[in-house]
Structures are given as structure tokens and as C-alpha cells.
Structure 1
Amino acid sequence: MLTSKKLGFIGGGNMAEAMIKGLLSASFLDSKSILASDTNPGRLEWLHSQYKIKTTASNREVVEKCDIIVLAVKPQVMKKMLEEFGGLDFSAKLFVSVAAGTPIDAIEKTLRGGDNRPVHVVRTMPNTPALVQAAVTAIAPGSDVSKNDIRIAHRLFEAVGKTVDVEEIHLDAVTGLSGSGPAYIFMIIEALSDAGVKMGLSRAVSNALTLQTVLGAAKLAQESGKHPGELKDMVTSPGGTTIAALHTLEAGGLRTTLMDAVEEATLRSIALGKISRKNEDEIKPETEPEGN
């Protein structure tokens, strides 16, 4: 499905690198079929030396030469970057956005440039475990995409983990849960490791115990198919150590705090979307385009 395609990345940051690494490792594409642009020449040199892909300083060149274009830039610069592509034919191209808070209609509107020509846009929300091919990516289609476009998007992100289909309206919640979620888990890992050190364990031993406990618990939950509450009860003996610890976690509001954190991240994603739409209305067409 991808072997005959040219894949472009506008923005060469961590997510772009994770996808490039995953696609090449899985032999989904040859390095000669990948072209990336970035405003940082050093970053382009690194990507070329590490993965032997083609690079360019021109975002427009990526769109001109590639069949699939991954938009991996900050949402604050998305519109100005898209304005660089005026006059190009997008009819046979698929745009895949990984930018948080940038709605599909804003991307479509800018690319269309005032007309109603079809523009194939898929919006996604991956997460940073893509760097170790363990991401989960939510995929939402735009109004003009085909079933084949969606299959291509899934294929791209299956190279770095698992994928799920969602409606775009749910992507803000996805951002709050899985997009930002690794940071929550890293904080929990850090706290558990610190707790082990407080109780007299060495940092190395505490880290090893914590990491394998988190990894093992996630694997057990995934493979058993059992409700997390049931798995929790399997560890919890009457009058034992675990129930004493759980009482402390409940008293400290762990559940509520995590739920509130996901809600706050979701609301922030919604706010970014509103800012993107506001910029769409306020930035005049003659604004000089900038790089990513």
C-alpha cells in the first residue's frame, strides 16, 4: 500500500522521527521514498545521516514531490505554513496532521484557498511512545477522504504502535487522555521510584522495580481483558499491605486528580482549536508566509 508512495514530512521533530524510524524498521518504505523539511538545518542533517532520507529546506517542495504529507508542525504556525502551497494541485495528495488543536476544517479551508476543490485531510493524535514503536494513535477523517486514505493513515501509524478510529469531535478528549497521558505515567513512575528510595532501596533497584511493575501491570490488563478493578482486587488481601496503600491513595484523591488532569488537558486542546479558528478569521490572505 505504501511502497509505491512518496512520503513527506513538514517538520522534522520527535514525532516525525518516530514515524520515519518505525516505517523504515518495518520495511514499509525505502528511505529514498521519504522527504522531510524543517526550519533547523542541523535537524535535517541529523535525519539524513541517521536514516538516509532526503531532506529540504522547502516545505513547498515536500508537497510538490510527495503523495502523502505529514503535517508535523506547531499549531501556532500551521496556517502560515499551509499558505505556502497556493496554486498547487492537491487532488491526488493526502495530508495527515499530527498537530494538537488544529481542526480539519481549518486545514481544508486554508489549502482550498477560497474554492471548493476536494482536499484529503486526516487528523491524528499519536503519543510519544511512538519513539519505541509503542504509541497509540487516534485517527479522524476529513470530509473528502476515501476509505483508501483512511487505510493509508492506519498503515502509517501502525508502524509506530496501535491505532483507533474516532470522530474528530472526540480528538480533544483523546489529546487529554492518551496524547498527554505519557506525562502522567512518567510522573507516577518518578514518584514510585522516589518512594522506593525513601524506603531504603537504591535508585537503580527502585527504578527497575517501578518500570517493570508499570510495564507488567499494563501488559496484564491488556492481555487478560479483565476490568482494572478486578485486577486490583487480585492484589488486595483483607487487612494486607495493598489495601492500606489504596486507602491512602483514595484519601489523597488520586482518581479525582487524574480525572481532573485529563479534563484540563482536554479543555486546553479545545482552547487551542478556538485560537486556530480565530487566527483563520483574522489573518489576511496577503500575510507573508513563514516556515515551520
Structure 2
Amino acid sequence: MAEKLKRPLLLVGCGKMGGAMLEGWLASGITAAGVFVVEPFGADAFASRPGVTVVPSADELPADLSPQVIVLAVKPQAMSAVVGAYTKFAQPDCLFISVAAGTTIGFFETHLGIDASIVRAMPNTPAAVGQGITVICPNAKASAQQIAEADALLQAVGETATIDDEALMDAVTGVSGSGPAYVFLMIECMAKAGVDAGLPEDLAARLALQTVAGAGHLARQSDDAPDQLRRNVTSPNGTTQAALDVLMADDGLQPLMTKAVAAAAKRGRELAG
């Protein structure tokens, strides 16, 4: 288990992503010093949890609160209206972690001050079951200890990776941040194709879901790379090869996926203004 925080953690926003991370932190024990949650639209499920205090606005936080880490988990479009309430915490010993897509480190340095310690992070929704992956990018003021704290917090909900070039975050968003939706869509499409081929709807849905889940688990556990795993299940002139001839055509899955990731990355840059 990672070293526990010595002072409270403040979570701003407790929607699906914020709630998923909070579940992971509570389970890991890393936030033993307590968690304060600012969430105006709910978080009732956490209000009765030991060590968790939920308030509807920043104005209702204790006057003497001194958080070690503040995690900003509100939507990018709301960040400008929210972040100003937390400038009083922008001291060298307080780390800000943002999980808002398209919201740059420069944005936070403008609103919190150039001396604020900031880590920009991009998690994804499998964090809800402890299977997420989060890429973090620190600013120059974040100390090695604070970067380690961010890494430990985000490892509580899955794997982590660190980059130094913030310009890569839009591509990260396009691949892993938005990526679960692509996989869910693939499950939908496989199930629909099964129905079109004559399968009962419930059986087609079950086959598609377990095939994607099982293949992902196999890819994770195997020493073989995905391209080799694909070859392993593809017999020359067999049924899988017939399907792959469609998916791997010049207008098949790869150019479509490349276009999709590029569109997500472009939208991330647009959100950054």
C-alpha cells in the first residue's frame, strides 16, 4: 500500500469519475487523514462513510482546513466558475490534481498562481472497477514527493503513466480517456451484427460482451503482443480471416480508429481554447 496522506484530501466534484476515484482511495486507505467532498448535486452515498465529509459548496468547508491534495473533478466547461474558490489553498505544500479534459496546466497557473503545484491527469472510467489507466503530467512547481503522491492516489484506481510533454495529453485523451466508449460501441456493434446474422438478441449481446471482456483479459495476461494473438486465432482461408479481410482493408478499422482518435484529440485542443 502507498504511504498514506498526512493531511486531508479535498475532492471537488463527485460525479462518476470523482466517485470512482473516491471509492478506490477509501478502499486503499491512502486517505486515512480524511476526505472532504464538495458536491452540490449528490454524493449522498459517501456522506455516511467514515472519514468523509460532504458539503455542497466551498463556502461550507472548515475555515481551518489545510488539504494536502485537492482533486478537481468537475467538467471542463465548469472549471472557470469553480477553481477561483480554491485559490486560498494554493500554497507550496498543497498539490492540485485536475482530471478535466482539455484544461491545461497554464489555465490553472493563471487562476491559482504560477507558484501552485499542479498535476494534470487523464483517467478513464474503468477506474470505477479498479481497472483504469491514468496519465499524469506535472508542472515545474510540483515536487518529486507531490508527483509520487499523485501517482499513488491514481494507482488506487488502476495503472498510471507519467509524461513531461503536456502537448501529448490530447492524444492520451483520444486513446485512453475516450477509449472505453469505443470498446462499448464495438460490443454494441458486434451484438447487432449477431442479431443481423440470425442470433437471438440476448445471446448475441452475451456473446459480444464476454468475447470482448475475455479477449482483453487474454491480451493483458499473455506474453504475446496483440498482433501475435490475432495471428494465433486466424487460420489461413478460415472464418476469422474472412472477417479480418474486411476489418483490415484500406477503408477498414484502422483508418476509422485513427480518424476517431484524431477527432477526440482535436476536441481536447478546442476545449483548451
Normalised by the size of structure 1, how large is the TM-score?
A: 0.85
Structure 1 ranges of 4+ moved more than 6 A:
none
Partner residue of 2:154 out of 150, 157, 167: 157
Partner residue of 1:127 out of 124, 129, 147: 124
1:213 paired with 2:214, answer no
Partner residue of 1:226 out of 224, 227, 249: 224
SS of match in other structure, 1:91: coil
CA contact (8 A) 2:130 2:158 kept: yes
SS of match in other structure, 2:43: helix
* Residue type of the alignment partner of 1:228: P
Report what 1:20 is aligned to. Answer: 22
Report what 1:285 is aligned to. Answer: none
Tell me how far apart the structure 2 counterparts of residues 62 and 9 of structure 1 sit (CA, whole Å): 14
Residues 88 and 193 of structure 1, relative CA distance in 2, 3 Å threshold: closer
Identical residues among aligned pairs (%): 38
* Residue type of the alignment partner of 1:126: P
Tell me how far apart the structure 2 counterparts of residues 223 and 26 of structure 1 sit (CA, whole Å): 24
Residues 194 and 121 of structure 1, relative CA distance in 2, 3 Å threshold: same
Structure 1: state its 5+ residue gaps.
Answer: 275-292
Offset of residue 199 of structure 1? 2.7
Report what 1:278 is aligned to. Answer: none
Offset of residue 33 of structure 1? 0.4
Tell me how far apart the structure 1 counterparts of residues 136 and 262 of structure 2 sit (CA, whole Å): 20
Q: CA-to-partner distance for each residue in 1:138-190, whole Å, 9 max, x for gaps?
A: 01011100111111111111111110111312111000000000010000001
Matched ranges for 1:22-101 at <5 A: 22-30=24-32, 33-40=34-41, 43-49=42-48, 53-59=52-58, 61=61, 64-88=65-89, 90-101=91-102
Report what 2:168 is aligned to. Answer: 170
* Residue type of the alignment partner of 2:80: K
Report what 2:252 is aligned to. Answer: 253
Report what 2:189 is aligned to. Answer: 191
CA contact (8 A) 1:37 1:62 kept: no
Offset of residue 224 of structure 1? 2.3
Offset of residue 56 of structure 1? 1.1
Report what 1:147 is aligned to. Answer: 144
Residues 13 and 122 of structure 1, relative CA distance in 2, 3 Å threshold: same
Offset of residue 44 of structure 1? 3.3
Q: CA-to-partner distance for each residue in 1:221-258, whole Å, 9 max, x for gaps?
A: 22324232221111111111011111122345211101
Offset of residue 47 of structure 1? 2.8
Q: Could you say what the CA RMSD is over the residues aligned between the two structures, in angstroms?
A: 2.0
* Residue type of the alignment partner of 1:170: L
Report what 1:286 is aligned to. Answer: none
Offset of residue 203 of structure 1? 3.1
Offset of residue 50 of structure 1? 6.2
1:138 paired with 2:140, answer no
Offset of residue 67 of structure 1? 1.4
Of structures 1 and 2, the one with the larger relative CO (CA 8 A, separation 6+) is 1
> Between Structure 1 and Structure 2, how many residues are aligned?
267
* Residue type of the alignment partner of 2:12: I
Q: CA-to-partner distance for each residue in 1:7-55, whole Å, 9 max, x for gaps?
A: 111111111100111111223234x701100222xx1333314677211
Residues 182 and 93 of structure 1, relative CA distance in 2, 3 Å threshold: same
Residues 105 and 232 of structure 1, relative CA distance in 2, 3 Å threshold: same
Residues 129 and 86 of structure 1, relative CA distance in 2, 3 Å threshold: closer
SS of match in other structure, 1:238: coil
Tell me how far apart the structure 2 counterparts of residues 100 and 223 of structure 1 sit (CA, whole Å): 30
Residues 89 and 260 of structure 1, relative CA distance in 2, 3 Å threshold: closer
Structure 2: state its 5+ residue gaps.
Answer: none
